[in-house]
Chains A and B, each alone.
Chain A
Amino acid sequence: MTCHSHFKSLAIAAAVALPLSGLSIYSPALAQQTVKIGSVLSVTGPASFLGEPEDKTLRMYVDKINAVGGVAGKKIELVIYDDGGDANKARTFATRLIEDDKVAAMVGGSTTGTTMAMIPVFEEAQVPFISLAGAIEVVDPVRKFIFKTPHTDKMACEKIFENLKQRNFTKVAMISGTDGFGASMRAQCVKVAPTYGVQIVAEETYGPRDSDMTAQLTKIKGVAGVQAVVNPGFGQGPAIVTRNYAQLGMSATPLYQSHGVASKSFIELAGPAAEGVRLPAAALLVGDKLPDGDPQKKVVVDYKQTFEATAKQPVSTFGGHAYDGLYIMVEAMKRANSTDAKKVRDEIEKTKGFVGTGGIVTMSPTDHLGLDLSAFRMLEVKGGDWTLLPPGT
C-alpha cells in the first residue's frame, strides 16, 4: 500500500459520496416568513405543451400574490422541478420536494403518468397535492390528500353524448389515438355510451405519430347508419383526422373532437376542414364571446390578458388549470389562516363556488374535482374561430 493508492481509493469514494452530500448545499435554508409550494411539471419533453404554460402561470401568479403580501402572513416560495415527462424522474423530484425542500403543498403533475407516479409520495407524507392531469383515475377512487383541477375525459364523453342526444343521434363511430389521452378517453366513452342511449357501431385507432388516417376513416365511411364520428385524441392526430375527413367528403356527418385539441393551433393545422367541427372545451377558449352575465367571464378574461401580456404567447387551457390549482390552494390557506398541511387539506375539500378558468368548483369528501358538466361549453368552429353553441342545439 502506497500513499498514492490511498489517494485513488479515496478519490473513488469521494466521487460517489461527494455529489450526493453536496446536494444539500443547494437547498436554501427554511425561512420562517415563507411558505413553500412545490411543483413538478413537464416543462421540457413531449408533454412540454402542458408543462410550459403551467410553469409560466405559476411563476406569474405567485409573484402577483407575493406583491400583495402573500398568504396567511407569509410569502410564497415556489419550488419547480422539470421532470421532462418522465414518470420515474417525477417520482424522485416528488420525494425531493417532500424530504429536502419540505414543501407545505404541491400544485403540479402535468401528465396522468407523472401524477400517478407521485401520488404515493404525497399520500404517505400527508401533504396536499393538486394535480393538473386529465384522467379520472387521479381522483377516482378519492384519496385523502389528492385533488385535481382539469375536467376529466369522462366528462368530455358525457358532454359530447349529451349533445348527440339533443340531436337525436344514436349510432356513432369512434376513431381514437393510442396515446395515453386517447386510450383513456376512449375507454371512458365506451363506458358511458349506454347511459345516453348511444351505440358505438364502428371503432378505429391510430398511433400518436401517424401522418395519415384515410384508411381508418374509409372503413368508417363504409359502415352504414353512422350519424356522427367522435375522435378522442390530442396533439396533431385529430387535426390530421379532420383534414382526411374533409378530403374523403365525409363532412355531411358531424365530427366531434375532444377538449384535447382545444387550442388555436388545432384550427390552424386543420385549416378550412375544421369548419363545423364541434367539441367540448373550457370557457377560457371563448372568454370574450361569453355573455356579460356569465359568472366565469371576469376570471377568464383577466387570466387571458395577464398571461398573454406577460408570456407573449396565446393562452391555453393547460395554463388555466395551474391558475385554478394555485388559487384553490392559496384560498384554502387563507381560510385556514395557516399553512399546516392537514388544515389546508380540510379547507381544500371545503372549496365551494370557486370560480376558476375551468369552471365553478365545489368539492366534497367524495368529489376531489368539484366540476360538473356545466364546466364544459360546446363549441363549434365557424369562420376559422371558436363559436359558442347556444344550449339545445
Chain B
Amino acid sequence: MLAALRHRYGILLVLAVIIAALPLVFPSSYYFRVASLVWVSAFAAIGLNILMGKAGQVSLGHAGFFGIGAYAVAIGPTHLGVPPLAAMLLGCALSALLAFLVGRPILRLKGHYLAIATLGFGVLVALVITTESRWTGGPDGMSVMKLTLFGWRASGSDTWYWITGGLLLAGTWIALNLDETPTGRAFRALHDSEIAARVTGINVNRFKLQAFVIAAVYASLAGSALALMNGFVNPDQAGFLHSIEMVTMVVLGGLGSVVGSIVGAAVLIMLPQLLTVFQEYENLMLGAIIIVSMIFMRDGIVPVLSKFMTGWRA
C-alpha cells in the first residue's frame, strides 16, 4: 500500500475508494455538504499547488479566478441566456485569457513583488464584482440558476457530492500526470533554481506563465462548481481572505504534494465545523492549531507524515 501511495494510480485508487466509501458512514446530508466543500476546495488548492509547490511562484490573488468562474455561471444563464455548462467553460476561457494577459508582465517579478502584484489583481477582480451591481448584484451577491443536463436537474447535497468528487478525481489525475511530463519536470527545475533552469535551456517565462494559466483554470472550475452547488454567489468568494485561505490550504497540506492539497483543504473546511463545541474560543483554537502544525510540520502535513512513516519503517 505504501508503494501504491507512491505511485500516481495508487493515490487515485485510494482517493476513489475514500470518495465511494464515505457516504456509507454519513448519517445526514449535512455531511455530504461538508465533504463536497472539501472536494471543491481541494480541487482549487491542487491547481494553486501546481503554481506554488511545483513551479515555485506565489499568488495571493487566486480567489480572483475563483470569483470569475463563480460569476460566470451566475451571470451567463441569468443575463445572457448561456446554458450553465457553457458558461462554466466560458468562465474557464476568460480566466485562462486573463491569467495569460496579466501573467505575462507580472510573472517577471520575483518574491514579494510578485506577491503584491497578484494580490493587486485579486483585489481588482473583487472590486469590479462589488461595484458592477447591475450585472453582479453588488455586495450582497446574486442567485445562480440550477444546473440542468438533458432535463435532469442537479440539486441536493448527495448529487453534488458525486459531481464534486468526480471533479476532484479528474483534477488529481491531471495534476499527478503533470509530474511525469517535460512540463512538470521544467516546473520542478524552475522551483529549485530559476538560474539553473534557465542555463539548461528552459524557457523560464513560458513555463511560469503555463503554471499560472493552469492554476487559474483550476480555480475558475472550482468557483463554477461551488456557485452551482450553492445556488448563489457573493463577492467574498473573490476576496482577499479567500485567496489567503487557498494559500493556507496549500502550505498547510504541503507544498508540491497533491495529496497535501486535499488534506489541507479537508483540515481547513472541517476544523471550523468541529470547533463549534468551543463556542467563543473557536477562532482562537483554529489559529492555535494552524500555528502549532506549521511550527512542528514546517513542510506541511503530508510531506512530514510521509517522511516520518518511511523513517519509522527503516
Contacts of B272 in A (CB 8 A): 89
Residue in contact with B313 in the complex, picked from A4, A20, A43, A135, CB distance below 8 Å: A4
In the bound complex, what is the Cα–Cα distance between A178 and B235 (angstroms)? 13
Contacts of A254 in B (CB 8 A): none
Contacts of B2 in A (CB 8 A): 1-2, 4-5, 8-9
In the bound complex, what is the Cα–Cα distance between A187 and B134 (angstroms)? 11
Interface size on A, residues (CB 8 A): 50
Segment touching B, from A95-103, A314-322, A372-380: A95-103
Whether B234 pairs with A117 at a CB distance below 8 angstroms is: yes
Q: Which residue of B lies closest to A102 (CB)?
A: B28
Whether B139 pairs with A183 at a CB distance below 8 angstroms is: yes
B236 CB to closest chain A CB (Å) equals: 6
Whether B18 pairs with A16 at a CB distance below 8 angstroms is: yes
Is B157 an interface residue, CB under 8 A from the partner? yes
B81 CB to closest chain A CB (Å) equals: 22
Whether A183 pairs with B133 at a CB distance below 8 angstroms is: yes
Q: Which residue of B lies closest to A133 (CB)?
A: B140
Q: Contact string, B273-290, partner A, CB cutoff 8 A, digits 1/0?
A: 110110010110000000
A36 CB to closest chain B CB (Å) equals: 14
Is B201 an interface residue, CB under 8 A from the partner? no
Whether A24 pairs with B266 at a CB distance below 8 angstroms is: no
Residue in contact with B236 in the complex, picked from A20, A87, A99, CB distance below 8 Å: A87
B252 CB to closest chain A CB (Å) equals: 13
Whether B28 pairs with A87 at a CB distance below 8 angstroms is: no
Contacts of B312 in A (CB 8 A): 4
Is A32 an interface residue, CB under 8 A from the partner? no
B16 CB to closest chain A CB (Å) equals: 12
Whether B263 pairs with A92 at a CB distance below 8 angstroms is: no
Is A339 an interface residue, CB under 8 A from the partner? no
CB within 8 Å of B: which A1-43 residues: 1-2, 4-9, 11-13, 15-17, 19-24, 26, 43
A299 CB to closest chain B CB (Å) equals: 29
Whether B139 pairs with A179 at a CB distance below 8 angstroms is: yes
Whether B313 pairs with A2 at a CB distance below 8 angstroms is: yes
Residue in contact with A20 in the complex, picked from B14, B35, B230, B276, CB distance below 8 Å: B35
CB within 8 Å of B: which A59-74 residues: none
User: A4-B2, A81-B276 known; A117 and B230 CB under 8 Å?
Assistant: yes
Contacts of A26 in B (CB 8 A): 274, 276-277
CB within 8 Å of A: which B103-160 residues: 130-131, 133, 138-141, 143, 157
Is B237 an interface residue, CB under 8 A from the partner? yes
Whether B29 pairs with A12 at a CB distance below 8 angstroms is: no
B126 CB to closest chain A CB (Å) equals: 12
Is A154 an interface residue, CB under 8 A from the partner? no
Whether B3 pairs with A99 at a CB distance below 8 angstroms is: no
A156 CB to closest chain B CB (Å) equals: 16
Is A272 an interface residue, CB under 8 A from the partner? no
In the bound complex, what is the Cα–Cα distance between A262 and B277 (angstroms)? 34
Is A162 an interface residue, CB under 8 A from the partner? no
Residue in contact with B141 in the complex, picked from A5, A81, A95, A113, CB distance below 8 Å: A113
Is A82 an interface residue, CB under 8 A from the partner? yes
Q: How large is the interface on B (under 10, 10 to 19, 20 to 34, 35 or more residues)?
A: 35 or more
Contacts of B77 in A (CB 8 A): none
Whether A88 pairs with B237 at a CB distance below 8 angstroms is: yes
Contacts of A21 in B (CB 8 A): 25-26, 31
In the bound complex, what is the Cα–Cα distance between A184 and B274 (angstroms)? 35
Is A120 an interface residue, CB under 8 A from the partner? yes
Q: Contact string, B232-247, partner A, CB cutoff 8 A, digits 1/0?
A: 1010110000000000
Residue in contact with B270 in the complex, picked from A19, A91, A120, A180, CB distance below 8 Å: A19
Whether A113 pairs with B230 at a CB distance below 8 angstroms is: no
Residue in contact with B30 in the complex, picked from A44, A95, A183, CB distance below 8 Å: A95
Q: Contact string, B285-314, partner A, CB cutoff 8 A, digits 1/0?
A: 000000000000000000001100100110
Is A336 an interface residue, CB under 8 A from the partner? no
B211 CB to closest chain A CB (Å) equals: 27
In the bound complex, what is the Cα–Cα distance between A84 and B280 (angstroms)? 11
Given contacts A4-B312, A88-B37, A117-B232, 11 further A-B contacts (CB under 8 A): A2-B313, A5-B3, A8-B309, A12-B5, A13-B17, A16-B22, A23-B34, A87-B141, A98-B30, A113-B140, A178-B130
Question: What residues make up the interface of B, taking CB atoms closer than 8 Å to A?
Answer: 1-5, 14, 17-18, 21-22, 25-31, 33-35, 37, 130-131, 133, 138-141, 143, 157, 226, 230-232, 234, 236-237, 259, 263, 266, 270, 272-274, 276-277, 280, 282-283, 305-306, 309, 312-313
Question: What residues make up the interface of A, taking CB atoms closer than 8 Å to B?
Answer: 1-2, 4-9, 11-13, 15-17, 19-24, 26, 43-44, 81-82, 84, 86-89, 91-92, 95-96, 98-100, 112-113, 116-117, 120, 135, 137, 178-180, 183-184, 187
21 A-B interface contacts by CB (under 8 A): A4-B2, A6-B1, A8-B306, A20-B22, A20-B34, A44-B283, A81-B276, A87-B234, A87-B236, A88-B230, A91-B230, A92-B30, A95-B29, A95-B33, A96-B33, A99-B33, A113-B234, A117-B232, A178-B131, A183-B138, A187-B133
> Closest 10 A-B residue pairs measured CB to CB?
A5-B2, A180-B139, A99-B30, A9-B1, A99-B28, A5-B1, A183-B138, A100-B30, A95-B33, A112-B140
